[in-house]
Structure 1
Amino acid sequence: MAEMQTLARPYADAVFELAEAKGELDAWSTSLAALSAIVDNEDVAALMDNPGVGDTVLAEAVIGVGAEDLNEGARNLVRLLIENDRLRLAPSIAALFEQRKAEAESRVDVRVTSAVAFSDEQQAALAKSLEKRLSRTVRLSFEQDENVIGGAVIRAGDLVIDGSLRAQLERMRTTLAH
């Protein structure tokens, strides 16, 4: 995984700089998300693994599938990735691009995992609190996981705030054991 990120970073950085210079960040987000989904498709993976499929045929197939969603720059990126045998990097390129875009927009995507759903009021309060703490606009996504027991686990990039009941019990157990 780390190797994929390392290989994908120069492509993501180049695409980001191009998109930012042209004011096309949202268009590129759409194109890269589409390309990522195409590359993750089992049928396309079979084409990529088939040594009998040439670069031109593969490029035409990928571009054909994403015709509506791939801008001209993304089509050129597909050709470049295929030429360099790096098409499998598309999902990592898309993820790294989105990270750069979020930084440029002073936005952070936050995933909240809890045992129960949050009410609208709780979501708004949490967003406001996180925006204050992180000094950024927060975009929340929620998922439920009964293993959390109570409380919530909040992930914002590398920051993890584990306020779950399980984590609290583990901290108490550790404290009592020492």
Structure 2
Amino acid sequence: MAELSTLARPYARAAFEYADGHSALDAWLEELATAAAIAAEARVREVLSRPALTTEKQAELFIELCGEAISAPMANFVRVLAANRRLTLLPEISAQFAELRAAREKSIDVHVISAYELSQEARDRLSDVLGKRLEREVRLSSETDSSLLGGLLIRAGDTVIDGSVRGRLNKLAEALTN
């Protein structure tokens, strides 16, 4: 079976092109995130997977669950997904839509995990350095994890930079056992 990302790609692109053409990227991003959160719920997936439900009924149930959080165009998008039995792809479609928007805006979300709280000056410097390296505007979020012992773990899209002491010790242990 094809991977979820492969199945979701044409839907994400179609949604992006529609939203971009109607100057509604922000609204669609928010609505897709809402629909994705609903589609990810175990009880919703269970109900939607019932063979007795027609695709039309699945779409109407899902739209009813979303309530006023989605617009008429998004409701039509949900109907198309339901007709093709692709409602379960909404979380992946939402993620790919966000990536397409970030690529258009030349921005990237970067998550930094450090052993200790980063000062605002360090966050700003790190954001500037990563922005130059990645050639994008960086939106930085951070958290602390004392198990890293020291250093940083940086996640920017598919790129992971492990500069933590824990990561270096793991690499050293692996090298010694080989």
- TM-score of the two chains, using structure 1 as the length reference: 0.89
For the residues of structure 2 that align with 1:36 and 1:161, how far apart are their CA atoms? 28
Q: Is the 8 A contact 2:55 2:85 kept in 1?
A: no
Shift of the 172–50 alpha-carbon distance from structure 1 to 2, 3 Å rule, reads closer
**Separation (CA, whole Å) in 1 of partners of 2:49 and 2:173:** 50
CA contact (8 A) 2:112 2:143 kept: yes
Which residue number in structure 2 is paired with residue 78 of structure 1?
78
Deviation at 1:14, TM superposition (A): 0.8
Q: What is aligned with 1:27?
A: 27
Which residue does 1:129 correspond to in 2?
129
1:171 is displaced (CA, Å) by: 5.0
Matched residue of 1:150: which SS?
coil
1:77: Cα distance to partner?
A: 1.1
Aligned length in residues: 178
Q: Cα distance 1:38–1:176, how it changes in 2: closer, same or farther (>3 A)?
A: closer
Q: Which residue does the alignment assign to 1:92?
A: 92
Per the alignment, residue 56 of structure 2 pairs with 56
**AA matched with 1:149:** L
**TM-score normalised according to structure 2 size:** 0.89
Shift of 1:2: 7.0
Does the Cα contact within 8 Å between 2:16 and 2:100 map onto a contact in 1?
A: yes
Change (3 A) 1:66 1:172: same
Cα shift at 1:59:
1.5
Moved over 6 A (4+): 174-178
* CA-based RMSD: 2.2
5+ residue gaps, structure 1, are: none
What is the identity, as a one-letter code, of the residue corresponding to 1:83? A
What 5-or-longer segments of structure 2 have no aligned partner? none
Percent identity between matched residues is 43
